[in-house]
Chain A
Amino acid sequence: MTKLKSILAGATALVALALPAAAQTNVKIGILSDMSSLYTDLAGAGSVLAARMAVDDFGAAAKGLKVDFVSADHQNKPDVGSNVVRQWIDVDKVDVIVDVPNSGVSLAVNGVVKEKNKVFLVSGAATSALTGPACSPNTIHWTYDTWALANGTGSAIVKTGGDTWFFLTADYAFGQQLEADTSAVINKMGGKIVGSVRHPLNSNDFSSFLLQAQSSKAKIIGLANAGGDTVNSIKQAAEFGIVRGGQNLAGLLVFLTDVHALGLDAAQGLIMTSAFYWDQNDATRAFAKRFAAGNKGIHPTMVHAGVYSAVTHYLKAVSALKNAADGKAVVDKMKATPTDDALFGKGEVRKDGRKIHDMYLFEVKKPSESKAPWDYYKLRATIPAAQAFRPLADGKCPLVGG
């Protein structure tokens, strides 16, 4: 049956190639994510689900698009990730790569996709280099980036008096970029960095680093890490009485699933920046309900929402062009069309590949304020789209001004 299907698909593809005016357009979406390690819950299988939901909701079949999916685990290794993508594009004829949490892997994939002229929609990765020096005519950075996180959380905290910082930084592309972006914001606002320590990815024990942070006497300990590393840092900071000693933690990248894993007891009061929260309006709640039902109850993170939104906009562009083969043309079309979907509302894709929308500053609720499972955030402030992301001119992206 499957064989017959793929023969049919192959035959249709041939026909489509031979007759560009044919009614059906084939699209193959490749979701490359972390399927087995620390980022699995915040992206992983949920990202595949979100992409499928986007295709269903778009009504792709009715609009003449035939969409296929492949997905793979990049194991957080840039070499594995770029090999998978090469094979997908060369052998499996994949048109668009989606998600790719882990900045290191996404930078590697970014290069491959550009070389092959396909499309790269980034939701999971954070590094602002993707729309900075490493920007590409084939890449759109959808959900969030290190600059937006630093800008949202960093400036909110400095404004309320947290003006001396010590960083706990994950020692790879993402952590270093996040630390650099946040430091820039803090320095600009008159704050001071008193020190930092770089820990290896997936460290188990943070007590030693926390002790260094403690003796630095900084008011704020900035966690420039993600996933399990952030969870363990916060948990062990509570154990070592960091917050009781008068210092505060700033989680620079905290996902809904991290808060769920920590429990409100340990996470309450934490301030973080996010592009999406499931309990914002009726549309996001409806999405979350459908999503959680298909994802073992795990509610959507901003990464999942970003995948949904990005794939939706991608399909719009492809159905307008009736062709997915030329990646740069599709991305140009996506940049020319204003974005609008149920989860992120109206927005745009900038020339450097940055997707622009509002960002939000959330605070984690106290256990007494939470009324239902996954009821975790309360809104502190909305950062309007125009201020939420790095100004176009500051990114050093070669596509800008050229």
Chain B
Amino acid sequence: MHEIFGIPPQALFGQLLLGLINGSFYATLSLGLAIIFGLLNIINFTHGAQYMMGAFVAWMLLNWLGLNYWAALVIAPVLVGAFGVLIERTMLRHLYKLDHLYGLLLTFGLALIIQGVFRNYFGSSGLPYRIPDALRGGTDLGFMFMPNYRGWVIAVSLVVCLVTWFVIEKTKLGAYLRAATENPPLVQAFGINVPRMVTLTYGFGVALAAFSGVLAAPIYQVSPQMGADLIIVVFAVVVIGGMGSIMGAILTGFGLGVIEGLTKVFYPEASATVIFVVMAIVLLVKPAGLFGRVR
């Protein structure tokens, strides 16, 4: 049989596709981070906890209120987003004028507190969440068995990423947003409520995290650590893509998913570190990241 690097091409295609699926989680998560950093200048370390909250809210909706996955896909981001708005209103807003470090410390502390509360209440082993019936089973693609749910994840993540990019980069609303971060007083002088816009932006970024949490719930265990495991990788993705660059976050998310996937085939022991190796190399060659601008 024909082989590429000692691996049958079918297996390689399968691994590439899996990499893209994992990449779609990285992309949606890093997208939220990139928006929050790009527009608010806040390094949101609570992002992983908010992703975890999304998954937990989905679990609660199902087990306590009987609301299914599709409802959770809408309700969980709204609820967690509202929680984000609350954090922004009461805490983050006082830190905009200070150094990045203060925002980082605050959000990191919040993340630890949120995770601790969930662990105390739900334990650490996690909770089961079933794949919705409509997406159960899979399709034989010839080179691999593709679970329908994973296909859904990749499709819906791509749509969400592209729509978000379009809104921010190509519409009038997006233009206001970008202007408001460049020069808030001037935009405010045109009669636009900048603080409210900033609050809503943070809420939206948080909602994106919760949305990926709901997407992740049926695949991974719904557990308090699920965000902490992922957040560091996602930060690396944002740094590689260029802090604050939205398209950069999306493209590197998918790209690194593929690189990680291939590492799992050729040298699985390094699959947890390969992203950081890439990060180190990128920072040495292009300190602003692949798609970042030097500020």
Contacts and interface: CB of A to CB of B under 8 A. Distances in A.
B107 interface: no
Interface string B130-144: 110000001000001
A112 B21 CA distance: 45
B269 A232 contact: no
B22 interface: yes
A194 to B, nearest CB: 15
A41 B264 contact: no
Given A260-B125, A265-B128, A266-B128, A204 B226 contact: yes
Contacts of A228: 124-126, 221, 223, 225
Interface string B2-23: 0000001001001100110110
Contacts of A212: 11, 265
Given A209-B264, A211-B14, A211-B15, A263 B220 contact: no
Interface stretch (A8-16, A236-244, A303-311, A340-348): A236-244
Contact of A257 (B125, B261, B272): B125
Interface string B46-70: 0000000000000000000000000
Contacts of A235: 128, 219-221
B199 interface: no
A44 interface: yes
Contact of B119 (A36, A240, A257): A36
Contact of B124 (A40, A198, A208, A240): A40
Nearest to B136: A239
B252 to A, nearest CB: 18
Interface in A233-270: 235-236, 239-241, 245, 257-258, 260-263, 265-266
Nearest to A207: B18
Contacts of B128: 235, 261-263, 265-266
A39 B123 CA distance: 10
Interface residues on B, range: 35 or more
A42 interface: yes
Interface in A29-60: 36-42, 44
A215 B265 CA distance: 12
Contacts of B150: 207, 239
A243 to B, nearest CB: 12
A328 interface: no
B109 interface: no
Contacts of A232: 220-221
A75 interface: no
Contacts of A266: 128
Given A40-B119, A205-B22, A241 B125 contact: no
Contacts, number: 113
Interface string B242-281: 0000000000000000000100110011011100000000
A265 B21 CA distance: 25
A298 interface: yes
B118 to A, nearest CB: 12
B149 interface: yes
B147 interface: yes
A203 B123 CA distance: 19
Contact of B147 (A39, A200, A205, A240): A240
B125 A245 contact: no
Contacts of A208: 15, 18-19, 261, 264-265, 271
B87 interface: no
Contacts of B225: 37-38, 202, 228
Given A208-B264, A209-B264, A265 B125 contact: no
Contact of A198 (B15, B123, B147, B268): B268
Contacts of B8: 215
A270 B29 CA distance: 34
Contact of A202 (B138, B144, B229): B229
A263 B272 CA distance: 28
Contacts of B22: 205, 207
Given A41-B125, A235-B221, A239-B149, A209 B268 contact: yes
A236 B125 contact: no
Interface in A259-299: 260-263, 265-266, 296, 298
A245 B145 contact: yes
B142 to A, nearest CB: 13
Contact of B272 (A40, A203, A241, A262): A203
Contacts of A227: 125
A298 B123 contact: yes
A40 B264 contact: no
Contacts of A263: 128
B213 to A, nearest CB: 13
A231 interface: yes
Contact of B221 (A39, A215, A231): A231
B161 to A, nearest CB: 19
Given A228-B223, A240-B145, A204 B229 contact: yes
A132 B225 CA distance: 34
Contact of A261 (B11, B116, B126, B229): B126
A86 interface: no
The 4 A-B pairs with the shortest beta carbon distances in the complex, nearest first, are A200-B272, A40-B124, A263-B128, A261-B125
19 contacts: A37-B225, A38-B225, A40-B123, A171-B269, A198-B268, A199-B271, A204-B220, A207-B150, A208-B261, A212-B265, A231-B221, A232-B221, A235-B219, A235-B220, A239-B147, A239-B149, A257-B125, A261-B128, A296-B123
Interface of A: 36-42, 44, 171, 197-200, 202-205, 207-209, 211-212, 214-215, 227-228, 231-232, 235-236, 239-241, 245, 257-258, 260-263, 265-266, 296, 298
Given A198-B269, A211-B14, A228-B124, 19 more contacts: A171-B269, A199-B264, A200-B273, A204-B220, A204-B226, A205-B18, A208-B271, A211-B15, A228-B126, A228-B221, A231-B126, A231-B221, A232-B221, A235-B128, A235-B219, A239-B150, A240-B145, A240-B147, A257-B123
